[in-house]
Structure 1
Amino acid sequence: MVHSAAVIGRVGALAVALGVGATIASGAASADSGDQGSESSASSSSNSGESAGTDTRREAPREARKAPPQRKASDRTSLSVRTAGDPERSLRTQRRPAVRANTEPDNELRQAPAATPEDRRSSDDPPAPAENPAALTALAAARREVGHDTAKIVESVADGQTTSVTAAPVSPLGTPDQLRAEKLAKRIVNSLPVKLVKVVLRAGFLRAAQQQFDRVNGPDQENIDRLDAAVNAYAMASAFQQQLLNSAKPTVVMQVAPPHAWYGQTVGASRILYDNPDTIYRFMGVNGASSYVITGRFDDLDNLPADTTFSVLTGLTGNTAAVLTKDKLVINPDGTFTITADSRPADGRQNHLQLTADTTLIATRNTLSDWTNQHPMSLEIARVGGPPNSLFSQLGGFAIPGIGPAVVRSKLLTALVSVVPPLPFVPTVLRGAVTAVIMALGIQREAQYMAVATKDPTTGQRIEPNVFKDPTRNAEFLATQLQSAGYFQLADDEALVITINRAGAGYFIVPVTDDWTITKDYWNEQTSLNNVQAVADDPAGSTYTIVVSPSDPGVANWVSTGGLNQGTISIRFQDIDPEAAHLPTVSAQVVRRSELGSVLPPGTRYVTAAERAAQIALRKSGFNQRFAPYPQA
């Protein structure tokens, strides 16, 4: 009852503050707001926290309080880095700028916080070896020191004692923040609001599929059998998104991920909306009233990911407001980099992202074309300026359309919403209620993404199955990507033959997804191929012929449908040369498997059963590295 009263009291206070503020602000809008794209409004947004009594030193996590070591001028060199499928590319490097130390953190950061009631209510999760604070700290330290080395001795000094620990290889993805987010997401999806909305979501997905796939009489039984898994994955993704809503306490969260087990916990799939098997997706909740510093590290500059992007996303739809691409990312000689993000223009700052008033997320993608040698980057975020944490931010107020941008633009509203402090912890049922709202929005989103495969991007008219046209920019969430999307309908003895000329793209992938736009078991089955995994038709590596079919035709460039006769495909092209004279092209045709020899190019490589098994084994080994040292079953 006490906790309920606290929730009701603070929510009521927030509502009063918003109501009074909105009335007053309507008369002062001209002074406190402006166009988000203008320099003046950016300055206003960046200063709004200061006008609200903000101490810009208060909110940065402890990791940001110590300035990184300064490097000598001789370290500012130019690196020549070769990436898979790319010509040799020169990357500028710089001395890593120091993050200003926070010398006066607020009370909640002055000492290690005690376990919250929500943290203690986790008996439904299996025990994690790195669950206690000391173990999590050691895990984070080992990860920073070891990276992907097979083994390394880490020395630490405590109470005058020096100890040596042999650290096993670890994944930069398994951070303490990630493990906590996964445990919390599991509790959220088991809450009553989420369970209720799953029923609605299932009906909405099914209705959308019946409409979008009307040319083939709707989803077939194989896809209907996978509907529950799709709904569960969307619920899990929504539970992660709910945790990103408090942009005053940002963390880096991996989602749109396959099911995995590590550190004593099993995590369900959060794959949605044409997830790419090659891409590691991580998200950070941000708002235009605050400023942030993102730090990261690539462990091997000779094997950088095929593509890396940092995208500023706005609103609920995830439209892209700004992108930092890999060719613009300045990396230090030791593989580290620093990115700043705030409402001001770059003004000469390298690695800067400008946040708009309606910014909600920064999304980062590591695309690994070579699963064996390329690894995801380490990544952390710290908030270094902005209004104090509040109930408004805790409940995702900055992400609410209309309200969030209005608060960012108005110094007065920012001050008013900052008056009501955050709750000591957010009850799981409340998190579940917010997650349920996010899930409900998924009905429209799923229909929209199905339409990417079932409609002509130019005319908007429904297309027949097995039709793939030249790629276009049809994904608002990744403006630097080209896509050729479509859906297939194949008999057991049929194959879809896709011919790709990647032209100025350094990377492409052909992944199979079901009617619900979700990949299947791409680690144990070859349900996708990229330009590094596939065999080119020509010595220049520009043209590729891919065979998509339910059963193995014995071709090296076979993409399995995972047993599906109906499904979707979104062929992606990334790392596109802006100076390229020609863009990628795609064509497709359906043939009987017995007729494959007549349409495949001369020199097509075929494989034996043993060679196919070796292909899959190499694939699984590369996949396991993402979750090292915990190989996936």
Structure 2
Amino acid sequence: MSGASRSALATSEQVNRDALLVELLADPALIEARDRVEQLYLGDPFCGRSAAGIASAADAAASITAAAVQHALVSDPSRPAFLWSACAAHAWPGLAVPNSGYGIDNPDNVHRRTAIDGVSSYRISVQVPPRPAAQFSFICYGQPEADGPVTREGAAIASVLLSHQVTPDAEGRFEVTVGPEPVPGSAYHLVSAPTSTWLLVRDALTDWETQEPLHLEIERIAGPEAPPAQSRAELVEIAVANTERLSRYWLAYNNELLYGPRPANRLPQPVGRPFGASVAAPFALGAGEGLLVTLDPGGCDYLGFEVTDPWGVTRPAVDALGGLNNRQALANPDGTITYWVGPADPGVHNWLDTGGLDAGLITARWQGGTLDAEAPPVRSTELVPLAEAADRFGPEHQVSAQQRADQLRRRAAAFARRLG
């Protein structure tokens, strides 16, 4: 692998594509596509008429449109490239990149996406940093995202490789191949399906202040002759189609899997996934209320708990507390973690800030371990008046205004490390 940059994300390819992202978002066709998404949301029977839904629809539409453009920028399987996407707003020198979260995104995860196809073979060269993520995963999907009936993962998964299955060499390097058939000499191979179109690498960072994502390079090593590179007009066309497909699919996901079948303020037990377990549910707060949630990490390396707007976009989580993982939260004496979810600061460390919204979604994720089936990790969810919130936590959880400001300052500085 060629010399890795100090930041795995601050590559010239990433910055150049982010600049093109910002440029394309100003195209009239994408502005119109974004506006259609906002109207789609406002016409939704579950959330379109709610105060929280109305207040957040425009920002959520802009965010999923940005994600749709990101997907277009890495949609050529003959020229694979990893792009950091579905992420919080950030800035490179002279360039402000907007939020691109959607589909119940996670501020602890670094998602990098690339196009593949079901006939070519690819080689990914990986350098593990000195302090890697609590878990990293390589996920080869078997079909385009948001194409077909709603599923829990957004698309069928063809194959998965998890960090605990990998043994890097003495210098922290390893290679992963991807393709329809094993590659001779490859220790780690992801089998693609004939209908595969993309691959995701996910780094779950529990300690933002020290952990770093993997350094990645990808090349196509076998496949049919490459067609001409996509033109700007073609990228816009792909991005507009992505915007339409993603917005309708993830709206249906929320409605069919969450708002329709699940009552508000009741978080069920998690369900297993190929790389962990997770659960999501709606929340709805009355005036002066918050939701008190207690979770058990269950011995897993990672437990993340996030709050989103009604459309599944995580609330601001860099300069505010839209999510807390098990390293960032304070645990109870028995090892469980209790959180306060609400729009007002309760004066305790484990506050999930809804950013002024009284409704949306809450999501918990467990990764890097196996949950004990005999010890349900969702311990309780309870509506509690704000006036009683602080009394439900021990004195060690109480924070002053200055301590809250320090917590947020450290959080923003820790996120900035990802940028180099």
Same fold (TM over 0.5): yes
- Is the Cα–Cα contact under 8 Å of residues 348 and 390 in structure 2 kept in the other structure? no
* Residues in 2 aligned to 1:198 and 1:244: alpha-carbon distance in whole angstroms: 20
- Is the Cα–Cα contact under 8 Å of residues 301 and 369 in structure 2 kept in the other structure? yes
CA spacing shift, 1:380–1:516, aligned 2, 3 Å: same
Match of 1:201 in 2: 37
Aligned partner (choices 130, 133, 153) of residue 305 of structure 1: 133
* Residues in 1 aligned to 2:247 and 2:129: alpha-carbon distance in whole angstroms: 40
Q: Secondary structure at the match of 1:212?
A: coil
Q: What letter is aligned with 1:236?
A: A
Q: Give a deviation string over 1:606-632, Cα, whole Å, max 9, x none.
A: 12222222211211110110112xxxx
CA spacing shift, 1:221–1:596, aligned 2, 3 Å: closer
Aligned partner (choices 562, 565, 580) of residue 358 of structure 2: 565
Runs of 5+ in structure 2 lacking a partner?
146-154
* Residues in 2 aligned to 1:605 and 1:560: alpha-carbon distance in whole angstroms: 16
Tell me whether 1:180 sits opposite 2:33 in the alignment.
no
Tell me whether 1:442 sits opposite 2:246 in the alignment.
yes
Match of 1:328 in 2: 165
| Deviation for aligned residue 1:496 | 0.5
* Residues in 2 aligned to 1:565 and 1:237: alpha-carbon distance in whole angstroms: 25
Q: Secondary structure at the match of 2:201?
A: strand
Q: Secondary structure at the match of 2:255?
A: helix
| Deviation for aligned residue 1:468 | 0.9
Q: Give a deviation string over 1:458-494, Cα, whole Å, max 9, x none.
A: xxx5333211111114xxxx63232221122223421
- Is the Cα–Cα contact under 8 Å of residues 470 and 587 in structure 1 kept in the other structure? no
Q: What letter is aligned with 1:265?
A: L
CA spacing shift, 1:492–1:527, aligned 2, 3 Å: farther
CA spacing shift, 1:581–1:306, aligned 2, 3 Å: farther
Q: Give a deviation string over 1:148-180, Cα, whole Å, max 9, x none.
A: xxxxxxxxxxxxxxxxxxxxxxx2102121122
CA spacing shift, 1:499–1:227, aligned 2, 3 Å: same
* Residues in 1 aligned to 2:390 and 2:12: alpha-carbon distance in whole angstroms: 52
Q: Give a deviation string over 1:402-432, Cα, whole Å, max 9, x none.
A: xxxxxxxxxxxxxxxxxxxx2xx54322321
Query: 1:61-80 counterparts in 2 under 5 A?
Result: none
* Residues in 2 aligned to 1:256 and 1:439: alpha-carbon distance in whole angstroms: 13
Q: Secondary structure at the match of 2:352?
A: strand
| Deviation for aligned residue 1:280 | 0.6
- Is the Cα–Cα contact under 8 Å of residues 43 and 49 in structure 2 kept in the other structure? no
- Is the Cα–Cα contact under 8 Å of residues 42 and 53 in structure 2 kept in the other structure? no
Match of 1:623 in 2: 415
* Residues in 2 aligned to 1:427 and 1:297: alpha-carbon distance in whole angstroms: 32
- Is the Cα–Cα contact under 8 Å of residues 191 and 428 in structure 1 kept in the other structure? no
CA spacing shift, 1:339–1:580, aligned 2, 3 Å: farther
CA spacing shift, 1:250–1:468, aligned 2, 3 Å: same
Q: Secondary structure at the match of 1:624?
A: helix
Q: Secondary structure at the match of 2:419?
A: coil
Greater fraction strand: 2
Runs of 5+ in structure 1 lacking a partner?
1-67, 69-139, 148-170, 391-421, 456-460, 629-633
Tell me whether 1:533 sits opposite 2:328 in the alignment.
yes
- Is the Cα–Cα contact under 8 Å of residues 140 and 192 in structure 2 kept in the other structure? yes
Q: What letter is aligned with 1:466?
A: N
Tell me whether 1:431 sits opposite 2:259 in the alignment.
no
CA spacing shift, 1:607–1:578, aligned 2, 3 Å: closer
* Residues in 1 aligned to 2:358 and 2:249: alpha-carbon distance in whole angstroms: 24
Q: Secondary structure at the match of 2:165?
A: coil
- Is the Cα–Cα contact under 8 Å of residues 256 and 269 in structure 1 kept in the other structure? yes
* Residues in 2 aligned to 1:444 and 1:590: alpha-carbon distance in whole angstroms: 31
- Is the Cα–Cα contact under 8 Å of residues 122 and 222 in structure 2 kept in the other structure? yes
- Is the Cα–Cα contact under 8 Å of residues 308 and 366 in structure 1 kept in the other structure? yes
Match of 1:30 in 2: none
Aligned partner (choices 63, 79, 89) of residue 259 of structure 1: 89
- Is the Cα–Cα contact under 8 Å of residues 348 and 393 in structure 2 kept in the other structure? no
Tell me whether 1:384 sits opposite 2:221 in the alignment.
yes
| Deviation for aligned residue 1:360 | 0.9
- Is the Cα–Cα contact under 8 Å of residues 64 and 247 in structure 2 kept in the other structure? no
* Residues in 2 aligned to 1:431 and 1:341: alpha-carbon distance in whole angstroms: 25
Query: 1:17-28 counterparts in 2 under 5 A?
Result: none
Query: 1:521-600 counterparts in 2 under 5 A?
Result: 521-538=316-333, 541=335, 543-577=336-370, 582=375, 584-596=377-389, 600=392
Q: What letter is aligned with 2:17?
A: A
| Deviation for aligned residue 1:603 | 6.0
* Residues in 2 aligned to 1:505 and 1:227: alpha-carbon distance in whole angstroms: 35
Q: Secondary structure at the match of 2:242?
A: helix
* Residues in 1 aligned to 2:265 and 2:395: alpha-carbon distance in whole angstroms: 25
* Residues in 1 aligned to 2:221 and 2:211: alpha-carbon distance in whole angstroms: 31
Q: Secondary structure at the match of 1:446?
A: helix
Tell me whether 1:510 sits opposite 2:305 in the alignment.
yes
* Residues in 2 aligned to 1:621 and 1:492: alpha-carbon distance in whole angstroms: 33
* Residues in 1 aligned to 2:247 and 2:321: alpha-carbon distance in whole angstroms: 29
Aligned partner (choices 189, 199, 202) of residue 365 of structure 1: 202
Q: Give a deviation string over 1:359-391, Cα, whole Å, max 9, x none.
A: 11110111111010111121110111111102x
Q: Secondary structure at the match of 1:359?
A: coil
* Residues in 1 aligned to 2:181 and 2:244: alpha-carbon distance in whole angstroms: 34
Query: 1:366-515 counterparts in 2 under 5 A?
Result: 366-390=203-227, 422=228, 426-451=230-255, 454-455=258-259, 461-473=260-272, 479-515=274-310
What's the TM-score, normalizing by structure 1? 0.61
Q: What letter is aligned with 2:296?
A: N
Q: What letter is aligned with 2:245?
A: L
Match of 2:99 in 1: 269
Match of 1:221 in 2: 51
Identical residues among aligned pairs (%): 26
| Deviation for aligned residue 1:189 | 2.3
| Deviation for aligned residue 1:504 | 4.0
CA spacing shift, 1:176–1:230, aligned 2, 3 Å: same
Q: What letter is aligned with 1:620?
A: A
CA spacing shift, 1:219–1:624, aligned 2, 3 Å: farther
- Is the Cα–Cα contact under 8 Å of residues 212 and 450 in structure 1 kept in the other structure? no
* Residues in 2 aligned to 1:559 and 1:426: alpha-carbon distance in whole angstroms: 42
CA spacing shift, 1:589–1:351, aligned 2, 3 Å: same
| Deviation for aligned residue 1:325 | 0.6
Q: Secondary structure at the match of 1:246?
A: coil
| Deviation for aligned residue 1:580 | 7.3
CA spacing shift, 1:583–1:365, aligned 2, 3 Å: farther
- Is the Cα–Cα contact under 8 Å of residues 502 and 583 in structure 1 kept in the other structure? no
Q: Secondary structure at the match of 1:488?
A: strand
Greater fraction helix: 1
